[in-house]
Structure 1
Amino acid sequence: MGASNLTNPCSYNIITFLITVLVFISHMKPTLASKAPKTCTNFIKTSCNSTTYPSLCYKSLSPYAPSVKTSPKGLCNAALSVTIRAARNTLSVVSKLTEQKGITHTEAATIKDCIENVGDSIDDLKQSLKAMGSLIGAKADKESLMADVKTWMSAAITDEDTCTDGFAGRNISPTVKNTIRNSKLGIAKLTSNALSLINHLNI
């Protein structure tokens, strides 16, 4: 083991890290939390206490402890990445509703609208992540870049909320409603948590 690994409190076997991250991507389970040093996991837990859904925040972000270490910006990037991944999963779940038998024209139109909304939300989150990338290491215009990050995040939240607006005044089956609502709620919570972490970021 090299000297850098000996001095880094958050380093551990890279192969184990990569394998476990792949498991997390597939199952969204915090399998790395118990393997990361407490310095890293405690930082994430403390940071998550400021979010709207602290338990979900810690569960979704603790697997990133070895790479985040104790970096607030790194934690925000991880939160955005997790949210984008969840939004893509939601997009897949909602899209599969169109394949179900018995879907009415009204339901199909509502599903289509939601797919477009979630797709727009993903684009917004990507722009926010891009702006965060520009913020890291920036020596000037930090406030402008942070404003961009928050603007894109707010747009993502609006798009996610719009996903269920199509229910109003329409005859939609409980199955379609519940599937869309539950999927949308999941990414809405993650987006809210990510924005909370960003709002507490000192630039």
Structure 2
Amino acid sequence: MSTSSFHMFQSAFVFLLLLLLMSTSMQTISAATTNNGCIKTYKKFIKSACNSTTYPKICYKALSPSAPAIKTDPYKLCNISLSLTLNATYKASSYIESLSKMKGLSPSEKQIIGDCAETTDVAIDELQQSLKALASLQGSDYKAGEMSDIQTWVSAALTDEYTCTDGIEGQKVRKAVKNTINKNVLYLARLTSNCLALFKLLD
């Protein structure tokens, strides 16, 4: 092969390689653009759903990271919302348990922490029951009845959570105890309230 032919072959090879790289790059950009468009659609769906709740900002902040999994599926939205609520209940329970190990607790503080731990544990059981029922909801012939059971359990969990925070009011409780309970349980109660509101999408 002559030198000029070799250079022509080399130039053609480089040109084809550049075309291939450009094509791959364009496909990547196109895929990314499409994916970003989908994510925006999913997040718009979540925001619209959250606007029907009592605490829409908390709702959207909690659920928007799961947009790729939720897509625009109301069932998945409710399932993930309930799962996040249950997870928050476990965390709140753990924080309350840590309070019981504080030194120098007064008898009234011990009573409040114990009552709060008990009601939070009950809320965990109720949310577990609702999550289990929700898992078997799709395709059920008894959707209305099962949906009613789920809402009853979640509503009961919400009542238990507020029972915990209401028990502090008017009591002589050190600031650290009160702040820890209020911060965790009130946030949990708001997640639970939002979760209950979102179930209306499945009615």
> What does residue 153 of structure 1 align with?
154
Distance 1:199 1:159 in 2: 21
Distance 2:38 2:89 in 1: 27
Between the two proteins, the alignment pairs up a number of residues equal to 172
| Matching of residues 50-199 of structure 1 within 5 Å | 50-138=52-140, 140-167=141-168, 170-199=171-200
**Residue 107 of structure 1 contacts residue 172 of structure 1 at CA under 8 Å; is this kept in 2?**
yes
User: TM-score, normalized by length of structure 2?
Assistant: 0.78
Structure of higher CA gyration radius: 2
Deviation of 1:165 after TM superposition, in Å, equals 3.7
Distance 2:58 2:149 in 1: 25
Distance 2:177 2:75 in 1: 38
| Secondary structure at the counterpart of residue 202 of structure 2 | coil
Deviation of 1:108 after TM superposition, in Å, equals 1.1
State the one-letter code of the partner of 2:97: S
Deviation of 1:35 after TM superposition, in Å, equals 9.7
The Cα offsets for residues 137-188 of structure 1, whole Å up to 9 and x where unpaired, read as: 21x1111011001110111011111113433564222221222122110100
Distance 2:152 2:103 in 1: 39
State the one-letter code of the partner of 1:143: A
* Residues 91 and 39 (structure 1), Cα distance of their counterparts in 2 relative to 1, 3 Å cut: same
Distance 1:187 1:61 in 2: 14
Q: List alignment gaps of at least 5 residues for structure 2.
A: 1-31
**Residue 36 of structure 1 contacts residue 65 of structure 1 at CA under 8 Å; is this kept in 2?**
no
Q: 161-170 vs 90-99, which deviates more?
A: 161-170
**Residue 134 of structure 1 contacts residue 145 of structure 1 at CA under 8 Å; is this kept in 2?**
no
Distance 2:170 2:50 in 1: 38
> What does residue 21 of structure 2 align with?
none
* Residues 74 and 175 (structure 1), Cα distance of their counterparts in 2 relative to 1, 3 Å cut: same
Distance 1:37 1:171 in 2: 49
| Aligned alpha-carbon RMSD (Å) | 2.2
| Secondary structure at the counterpart of residue 100 of structure 2 | helix
Deviation of 1:70 after TM superposition, in Å, equals 0.9
Distance 2:58 2:37 in 1: 19
Distance 2:116 2:170 in 1: 16
Distance 1:169 1:56 in 2: 28
> What does residue 202 of structure 2 align with?
201
State the one-letter code of the partner of 2:116: C
State the one-letter code of the partner of 1:181: N
Deviation of 1:37 after TM superposition, in Å, equals 1.7
**Residue 165 of structure 2 contacts residue 186 of structure 2 at CA under 8 Å; is this kept in 1?**
no
User: TM-score, normalized by length of structure 1?
Assistant: 0.78
* Residues 35 and 124 (structure 1), Cα distance of their counterparts in 2 relative to 1, 3 Å cut: farther
